[in-house]
Amino acid sequence: MAMKALAYHGVGRKCILHHYGRLSYSSQSKSKSVRIGCASGFWGDTPTAAPQLIHHGNIDFLMFDYLSEITMSLLTAARAKKPEFGYAPDFVLYAVGPHLQAIKKKGIRVLSNAGGINPKACAAALQQAAAKAGVELKVAVVTGDDLMPTKKDFISVPDMRTGEPLPKTVHSMNAYLGAGPIARALDLGADIVVTGRCADSSLALAPLIHSFGWKNTDLDLLASGSLAGHLIECGAQVTGGIFTDWHKVHNWHDIGFPIADVSEVGEIVITKPPNTGGLISKGTVSEQLLYEIGDPSVYILPDVVCDFTNVKLEETADGVQVLGAKGRPPTDSFKVIATYLDGYKATAVCCIGGPQSAAKGRRTAEAIFARCQTIFSMLKLPNFTRTHVQVLGAEDTYGANKSMGAGPREAVIWMSVHHHNKTCLEIFAREIAAAGTGMAPGLTGIVGGRPRPSPLLRLHSFLINKNKINVKIDMDGKEEQFDEAVDCVPSSTYETASTPATGSFQLERGNNMYALVELAYTRSGDKADSCNIGVIARHPALYPYLKEALTAEAVANYFSHMFPSDSKAEDHVKRYELPGTSALNFVLENSLGGGGVASLRSDPQGKAYGQMLLDFCVPNMPSIDSLISNPKD
């Protein structure tokens, strides 16, 4: 095949046109590299990302990540209404469909978990879109993750956290598959690979396995590829989205979506299309590195167990170079997430103005709950299972750390209730309006009108041996079985606990007190009912002070109001160190009020926890300038 030298957009390298994309060559190492763009971090991400990457990213592969645990349940409900539903329609209608001709012309290959619980229907819709666009495409489908057809086999399997058996009201059940079958589909010549549930990072690891021929025994390479996927899987979160220093990030409306340029020896450069908004720096990349992880030395994925503790970042002319991921043998199990119905919930949001808005809001909520209870008693119905009240604007989420004085003169009442009977939630919805004439002055209206009951879904997690999963690849009407041909170890091999603090902390002292925001970046995210907070020192010289001040006990005390009241806060917090990036990672277990749809809180995923920690104060420090200008070894 004739080969043509092309300009490497924005970085001045050379690349070679290859049959299914461009295998670029580093001007320094001369090792081949592959460019993978990510155009979606969740179902609902902007459709403007795909054309940006397709036309200006000079990419070889384009991945779209759509699925979360709750999304799987929503797709299950959609398919129950219509058999042809159950996948993310946005993928076909807006993300890929309008660009199929350009994708084919440029030789870009697409990978996505948009298949949800009906990947074959998603593939069929893609084929229809391709026919309409006059494009011939080979679409492969990976199946085997959906365990609902055999759910009766798992009723007695306990939850890996609580030990409770799987409820009969299970709504969805999916195993997190790995990169192996996706890479095999690419080997078979697929232009687009559609999967159901898989590890998000596997969508990036698979094309690297396919392009470079990495083996199951190349553990460090697999870890590097997985890290590349982890960094870009959430889209713009690595290119300046939700960055601590948000004021330094320009043009949010045109934020550049990420590209991982990965060499065959595992070197990673995170970049974005030229002339786009956003920011790529050590700060933005390190925040995403810590996003939604637990023990950074034991990050368990289907294909490899990763150690990110000594990963190092370096800003270059191309972007941010990422090195140092280490791999360990994968476990013999897939993680399975099931969702089950646990009644219903309704949330009302009301605005209130004038003096003492917080006090008026709380009393209004209490009165509405009391009136509902009176009506329930008349109808011989049980009371609410749970209730939750927050006054947004009064810093209720900060607990004892709030800084409000007399309180705001305008606020928002957040009232959320849980019940197993929809009728009780409908009564709650009707009684809110009466507060406008019979309770506090200044109530201005219900945001969005009366709330409607919605299913309250909880998660049930467990492990299943890999040999019990029937993974298949379907393309061109031909089906191929995929077997995990890899040496695995028992899952118990990687049981971890909070790591002990290191360092003697014989540090230089001073009279300065700094808020954490002056010393570090933070980012937080959720895993079921747990939240993690990554804290990254703005300079390595500040890291020892963070290690000393931010103990697990200190963080537990700061967030003590977020944990169950019948337990000790310190029992819920684990701390881990990442010396390579001068970072700490905290896992706050059982801190989200159930998490996801099961939570009644305004922040069910802990997205603001990292921001809240920025006000934590570190005392007795020398000046930051002196530490940075004269760092101690």
Secondary structure (H, E, C), 40-82: CCCCCCCCCHHHHHHHHCCCCEEEECCCCHHHHHHHHHHHHHC
Residue range 69-93: mean pLDDT, rounded: 88
* Cα separation, 132 vs 142, whole angstroms: 24
pLDDT band at 485 (very low <50, low <70, confident <90, very high): low
Give per-residue pLDDT as tens, 474-483.
Answer: 999 999 999 8
Residue range 240-264: mean pLDDT, rounded: 98
* Cα separation, 129 vs 89, whole angstroms: 12
Residue range 227-255: mean pLDDT, rounded: 98
Q: Is 80 exposed, middle or buried (0-12, 13-18, 19+ CB in 10 A)?
A: exposed
* CA diameter of the chain: 82
DSSP string, 572-583: GEEEEEEGGGTE
Higher-pLDDT residue of 211, 71? 211
Proportion of the chain in helix, strand, coil states, percent, rounded to 5: 35, 30, 40
Residue range 492-509: mean pLDDT, rounded: 82
Give per-residue pLDDT as tens, 525-573.
Answer: 999 999 999 999 999 999 999 999 999 999 999 999 999 999 999 999 9
* Residue among 570, 534, 566, 577 nearest 553 (CA): 570
* Residue among 289, 350, 274, 351 nearest 319 (CA): 274
* Cα separation, 517 vs 391, whole angstroms: 25
Residue range 173-196: mean pLDDT, rounded: 97
pLDDT band at 17 (very low <50, low <70, confident <90, very high): very low
**Does 499 score more than 80 pLDDT?**
no
CB 522 within 8 A of CB 534: yes
- Given this model, what pLDDT does residue 30 score? 52
* Residue among 602, 498, 620, 496 nearest 556 (CA): 498
CB 70 within 8 A of CB 457: yes
Residue range 420-425: mean pLDDT, rounded: 97
pLDDT band at 81 (very low <50, low <70, confident <90, very high): confident
* Cα separation, 425 vs 431, whole angstroms: 10
Q: Strand pairing partners for 261?
A: 35, 269
* Residue among 539, 549, 553 nearest 503 (CA): 549
| CB count in 10 Å sphere of residue 409 | 14
Higher-pLDDT residue of 226, 7? 226
pLDDT band at 405 (very low <50, low <70, confident <90, very high): confident
The letter for the amino acid at 143 is: T
- Given this model, what pLDDT does residue 12 score? 32
3-state secondary structure 448-471: CCCCCCEEEEEEEEEEEEHHHCCE
- Given this model, what pLDDT does residue 11 score? 33
**Pairing mode, strands 573-578 and 583-588:** antiparallel
* Cα separation, 17 vs 23, whole angstroms: 7
Residue range 351-373: mean pLDDT, rounded: 96
**Does 18 score more than 90 pLDDT?**
no
Give per-residue pLDDT as tens, 576-601.
Answer: 999 999 999 999 999 999 999 899 99
- Given this model, what pLDDT does residue 72 score? 84
- Given this model, what pLDDT does residue 26 score? 40
The letter for the amino acid at 233 is: E
- Given this model, what pLDDT does residue 591 score? 97
**Does 303 score more than 90 pLDDT?**
yes
CB 103 within 8 A of CB 110: yes
Q: How many residues does the chain have?
A: 633
* Measured distance between the N- and C-terminal CA atoms of the chain, rounded to whole angstroms: 55
- Given this model, what pLDDT does residue 2 score? 33
CA quadruple 561, 565, 569, 574: dihedral positive or negative? negative
CA quadruple 562, 568, 572, 575: dihedral positive or negative? positive
